[in-house]
Amino acid sequence: MKKTLRVCVVIPAFNEATVISHVVSGIKKAFRNRNYAVEIIVVNDASTDETSKEAKKSGATVINHILNSGAGGATATGLSYAQQNGFGIAVTMDADGQHAAKDVVRGVDEIIKRRDDLLIGSRLIDSAGMSKTKIIGNKGLSAITYALFGINSTDSQSGLRVFSRNALESLRWKTSGYEFCSEMLWRAKQLNLRISEYPIQALYTDYSKTKGQNNWNAVNIIKNLLKRRIAELLG
Amino acid sequence: MSRYLLLLIFNLPFILAGILSILTQYKIGRASRRKLIAQLIIWLLVLLGLILAEPIYNWLFVNGLTKTDSLSLFDVIQITAIVLLFYITNRTRLKLETTERRLQDLHQELSIRLSNKK
C-alpha cells in the first residue's frame, strides 16, 4: 500500500523508561495497514533514566533535550521538528500511556474529515474511568481558560492534540510548563485557526495516576497563566 | 518654582525614554503593534498622573478625602525614584522575556540538529 500522507506523532517524555516502549509499540501497531506514513518522535526532556535508550530500541526517532524544559518546551521541539521536516499532520500525546493508540489514529482521520487546524482529544466529553478529583481539576482549569482567554473547551489540558500543516506553520506559544495547553488554545484563537474536539478515552493505570498533573499542579498552572495574561497586557 | 512643575521636569526624561524605547523597538521590528500600544498607554498614564497631580490633590483635599500636606521636596524625589525604578523594571522585564525566548529557540534548534546528526 502506498503511504500518501506523512504523519508525525510527537511524544514529550520525562523519566518514562518504564512505559515508553509500550506506548511507541502501541502507536506503531495502530498505524499498521493504514494509509499514513508515520514517524514517531520521542522528545526526551533531559530524563535521568533510560527513556532515550528505550524509545530508540522500540523504533522511535529520539530528540534529546540538553536542558529540562517542561512539557510545553518539549512539545514545541517535537512540533518544530514536524514542521521543518514537512509533515502534513502532527499529533501530540502523553508518554505515560493514558492515551489509547486507536484514539490517535482516529484523531488523524477526524482532522482530515473535518478540515480543522487543531483538534483536541477531550477526556471529559465522556469522563468514564476518570476520578472525581481529576474531573474537578480539569473542569476548573477549563473554566479558568475560558475566563482568561475566552476559549470554550471541555478539556483544555488534554495532551492528545492533532495539528494540521497550517497550525504547524503558524502556532507558537511562550510558556514552557503545563500551562502551555491553555496558552496554545489562546494563540490558536488569536490566529483564527479552526479548533474543535473529539471524545477520547483516558486509560488510568497505577503508573499513569502517579505521573499526571495533580490538583496542586493546577494551582501552579493558574498562577503561570495569570502571569502570562498580565505580561501580555503590559506588552 | 512650583514643586508640581519640578516633579514633572524630573520625571519627563524617564517617560520620554520609555516612549522612545518602545517606538524604536516597534520601528525596527522587535516589538509587535500590540506591545507598542500597551506600553504607550502605560507611559501616557504615568505622564497624565504627573501632569494632573496638583488638581487631583486639590480635589481630594477639598472633598475631605486626604488630610496630607501638599507636595514636599522629599515627595518629589521619592516619586521620581519610583518612576525611575518602574522604568528600569519594565526595561529589564522586556529584555528578560526576549532573552528567555531566544534561549528556548536556541535550545530547541540545537536539540533537533544534534538528533539529525546522529
pLDDT confidence of residue A131: 80
Element (H, E) at A222: helix A215-234
Task: Please give the model's pTM, rounded to 2 decimal places.
Answer: 0.82
Q: Do B112 and A77 touch (CB under 8 A)?
A: yes
Bridge-based pairing of strands A36-44 and A89-92 is unpaired
DSSP A165-225: HHHHHH---S--STTHHHHHHHHHHHTT--EEEEE--B---HHHHHHS--HHHHHHHHHHH
Question: What are the backbone dihedrals phi and psi of residue B71, each rounded to the nearest 5 degrees, phi first?
Answer: -55, 125
Which of A60, A23, A67, A62 shows the shortest CA–CA distance to A45?
A67
Which residue does chain B place closest to A65, by CA atoms? B111
Q: Domain ranges in chain A?
A: 5-234
When pLDDT is cut at 50, 70 and 90, the band that residue A213 belongs to is low
Taking CB atoms and an 8 Å cutoff, what residues of chain B touch A43? 111
Return the percentage of chain A with pLDDT > 90, whole number: 67
| Contact predicate A43/A77, CB 8 Å | yes
Can you list the positions of beta strands (E) in chain A? 5-13, 36-44, 61-64, 89-92, 118-122, 161-164, 195-199
Whether the CB-CB separation of A198 and A107 falls below 8 Å is answered with: yes
pLDDT tens-digit readout, A168-196: 999 999 888 889 999 999 999 999 999 99
Chain A residues with beta carbon closer than 8 angstroms to that of B42 = 234-235
- The helix/strand/coil state of B44 is helix
Are A40 and A61 in contact by the 8 Å Cβ rule? The answer is: yes
B103 in A contact zone (CB under 8 Å): no
Q: Report residue A186 as a C-alpha cell.
A: 489562546
* Spatial separation of the C-alpha atoms in residues A222 and A206, rounded to whole Å: 26
Closest Cα of chain A to B57: distance in Å?
27
> Predicted confidence band at A45 (pLDDT cuts at 50, 70, 90)?
very high
What cell was used for A13? 517524555
CB contact A68 to B (< 8 Å): no
Residue A233 exposed, middle or buried by CB count within 10 Å (0-12, 13-18, 19+): exposed
What pLDDT band is residue A2 in, cutting at 50, 70 and 90? low
> pLDDT class for A1, splitting at 50, 70, 90?
low
Chain A contact for B37 (CB, 8 A cutoff): yes
DSSP state of A99: B
- Beta-sheet pairing, A89-92 with A61-64: unpaired
Out of A69, A80, A174, closest to residue B101 by CB: A174
Over chain A, what is the mean pLDDT?
90
Q: Is the ipTM of this complex over 0.90?
A: no
- Listed in sequence order, the residues at least 6 apart from A190 whose beta carbon sits closer than 8 Å to its beta carbon are none
If you average pLDDT over each of A86-90, A123-127, A151-155, B31-35, which comes out highest? Answer: A86-90
Shortest CA gap A190–chain B (Å): 12
Mean pLDDT score, A77-102: 95
Distance between CA atoms of residues B88 and B65, nearest Å: 32
Is the Cβ of A230 closer than 8 Å to some Cβ of chain B? no
CATH H-level superfamily of A5-234: Spore Coat Polysaccharide Biosynthesis Protein SpsA; Chain A (3.90.550.10)
d(CA A210, CA A97): 12
* A187 close contact with B: CB closer than 8 A: no
Per-residue pLDDT, averaged over A89-114, amounts to 95
> Is B112–A235 a contact, with Cβ atoms under 8 angstroms apart?
no
Q: Calculate the CA A5 to chain-centre distance.
A: 20
Between B96 and A129, the higher pLDDT residue: B96
In this complex, the residue of B31, B94, B108 whose CB is nearest that of residue A76 is B108
State the pLDDT at residue A135.
86
Task: Give CA torsion, residues A144, A146, A151, A153, to 10 deg.
Answer: 70
Is residue A212 predicted with pLDDT exceeding 80? Answer: no
Is the pLDDT reported for residue A44 higher than 90? yes
Residues of chain B with pLDDT under 50: none
Of A153 and A216, the structure prediction assigns the larger pLDDT to: A153
| Torsional class of A16: left (φ above 0), alpha (ψ -120 to 50), beta (otherwise) | alpha
